[in-house]
Amino acid sequence: MTGGIVGLGDLSFLSRLPRVAAEEARFDTGIVRFQPEIEPLVRFLEDTPRERLLEQVGDRLRHGLTYRELVAALLLAGVRNIQPRPVGFKFHAVLVVNSAHLASISSPESDRWLPIFWALDYFKSAQEQDAREGDWTMATVNESKVPTPQKARAAFIEAMDSWDEGATDTAVTGLVRTAGANELFDIFARFGARDFREIGHKAIYVANSWRTLQMIGWQHAEPVLRSLAYGLLDRGGEENPAKADLPADRPGRQNLARIKTIRPEWQIGQPSSAAATELLQTLRTASADEASAKVVELLNRGVGPQSIWDGIFSAAGELLMRRPGILSLHALTSANALHFAFQHSGNDETRRLLLLQNAAFLTLFRGDGEKMKSIRIDQFPPAEAHEGNGPTLEEIFAQLSRDRMTASRQALAYLKKKQQPHDFINAARRLVFLKGNNSHDYKFSSAVLEDYQTMSPDLRDRFLAASVFNLRGSGDQDNPLVKRTRAALVG
């Protein structure tokens, strides 16, 4: 299960087809164009047929294409070709780029190209779907309406507050050309968390786009942030939220007032496992309003933010155990995104808002509570050892394909004996490479394996054990793309 994959480090194969030169195709002047050094590579990804792309990319890697250039082109190709509405579904081809990158850099060198090649193939699939659904393409910006640097920030905030698409597009263009990355992140982090539409994908897009831009370079920020702003304004066909009182907006509006009641020294507080458990218990049954109020109560009582996040992550993990599926897994991936924003925002008010919004969102992920199993993340017992021996990795991941609750108990028993369970994490990630078949496999695994490291030591094992409810088991069907990737790289 954990052996190497033959040939993944060998890129010395010969291309089966000639490379696609950008100048060979005409370019529609109404479509946004990227910087000249990356545009030809983006066009190559766009124009090469799906069944030929992996081989062609392998050839370019052999002839000098770098990892960073490839990831940059992949993100930009998605931004230009896939409509960020809704911020999910086919748009996962963009959202998953950062998750694939995180999986890649955290993997042994022999496995490093698997996530990126999977993301390349997924982009082509999403591109085909977008073409069937109207073939949306990002247009050039209306330069005549781009505000001056002195007015860009105010114009952008006003346009976003008004949910004005046209004004937002020109304003964000002016803002990104003049503002610094940190200032931009603070603004977008707040708008990404203001409403619950798209079940957390707006916050996820904010975090993932920023993280990818940090790696590929901020010279590519303008089209990415234009796409991001457009996606954040998606209201799912509802009336203009600026002129209505809609359920998805209520937590944010209530919490904007509530954050003013948090003590000024809220970042200075004591860690408390009991407080984390208290918040977990509240989140099991509370309304969005009650959940946010509980966070304020704990902070004002002197509890440190770390314990609030411990309670949030534990509650998200428990949701996955009680009702595995798409809705619950997004409780975890959105919490990961909001936590990233909390860690990187420099605005005190925004950081307080992110805490309160995350608590509120978790209650909305709970839904109507039907078909929820009576599992408690802080109470389920580890598997008992047989003849003094605990479960092995092989047993855990084999069991995962048969009975996830049993596998979770086995994982908890295993993790309790490991001070640094890198072998468990590496095995889990590698099985995603070999068995994963959708974007959520990458998004989820990258999020939970990262968040595990941020939790308090006395709670993290149960959180990681809960994650097996959406990890891959060794008995799951192999992803055929692995064979395609291997063939492409070894020629």
Kindly indicate the confidence band of residue 367, based on its pLDDT and cuts at 50, 70 and 90: confident
Specify whether the CB–CB gap between 127 and 81 falls below 8 A.
yes
| Cα separation values, 366 from 246, 318, 329, Å | 19, 10, 11
pLDDT value for 487: 75
Mean pLDDT value across residues 328-339: 97
Residues 334 and 359: their CA atoms lie apart, in Å, by 11
Backbone angles phi, psi at 303, to 5 degrees: -80, 140
- Answer with the residue of higher pLDDT: 170 or 488: 170
pLDDT-derived band at 345, boundaries 50, 70, 90: very high
* Cβ neighbours of residue 225 closer than 8 Å, sequence gap 6 or more: 172, 176, 184, 188, 209
The amino acid present at 209, given as its one-letter code, is: S
Q: How confident is the model at residue 388 (pLDDT cuts 50, 70, 90)?
A: low
Whether 20 has a pLDDT exceeding 50, the answer reads: no
Enumerate residues 6+ apart whose C-beta is below 8 A from 279. Answer: 294, 295, 298, 307, 308, 311, 312, 315, 359
One-letter amino acid identity for 330? H
Q: Give the Cα-Cα-Cα angle 300, 301, 307 (nearest 5 degrees).
A: 95
Among 71-85, 249-263, 346-360, 369-383, whose mean pLDDT is lowest?
A: 369-383
Cα(192)–Cα(306) distance, rounded to whole angstroms? 22
User: Tokens in use for 397?
Assistant: 């991941």
7 Rama sector, left if φ>0, alpha if ψ -120 to 50, beta otherwise: left
Predicted local distance difference test score (pLDDT) of residue 488? 76
Q: Is 268 helix (H, G, I), strand (E, B) or coil?
A: coil
One-letter amino acid of 114: L
Q: DSSP letters along 404-464, please?
A: HHHHHHHHHHHHTT-SS-HHHHHHHHHHHHHH--SHHHHHHHHHHHHHHHHS-HHHHHHHH
Among the listed residues 104, 102, 80, 103, the one whose alpha carbon sits nearest the alpha carbon of residue 91 = 80
Residues of the chain with pLDDT > 70, as a percent, come to: 93
Half-sphere exposure of residue 411: CA atoms within 13 angstroms, side-chain side: 32
d(CA 282, CA 285): 6
Distances 49 to 28, 97, 125 between C-alpha atoms, Å: 19, 20, 10
Whole-prediction pTM value?
0.92
CA terminus-to-terminus distance, the chain: 24
- As a whole number, the mean pLDDT across the chain is 91
Judge whether residue 350 has pLDDT over 70.
yes
Whether residue 449 contacts residue 411, with contact meaning beta carbons closer than 8 Å, is answered with no
Q: What is the pLDDT of residue 38?
A: 97
Please state, as a whole number, how many other Cβ atoms lie within 10 Å of the Cβ of residue 383.
19
For 147-204, how does the pLDDT look when each residue is reduced to its tens digit (9 = 90+)?
Answer: 999 999 999 999 999 999 999 999 999 999 999 999 999 999 999 999 999 999 999 9
- Average pLDDT of span 357-371: 89
Tell me: the pLDDT tens digits for 262-275? 999 999 999 999 99
Average pLDDT over residues 436-446: 93
Q: Which two tokens stand for residue 421?
A: 């369970």
DSSP conformation letters of 4-39: --TTTT---PPPSSPPPPGGGS---TTB----TTTH
DSSP characters over 36-56: TTTHHHHHHHHHS-HHHHHHH
**Hunting for tokens 């070999």 — which residue is that?**
434
- Local structure of 74: helix, strand or coil: helix
DSSP conformation class of 237: T
- Least confident window among 123-127, 436-440, 479-483: 479-483
Would you say residue 10 has pLDDT above 70? no
pLDDT of residue 29: 52
In the predicted model, is pLDDT for residue 446 greater than 90? yes
Query: How many whole angstroms separate alpha carbon 258 and alpha carbon 296?
Result: 8
Q: Which of 21, 231, 209, 264 is nearest to 98 (CA)?
A: 209
Q: How far apart are CA 481 and CA 100, in angstroms?
A: 15
Percentage of the residues of the chain whose pLDDT score is greater than 90 = 84
**Which tens digit of pLDDT belongs to each residue from 451-475?**
999 999 999 999 999 999 999 999 9
Choose among 446, 439, 437: nearest CA to 481. 437
Partners of 389 in beta bridges: 386
| C-beta separation of 461 from 415 below 8 A | yes
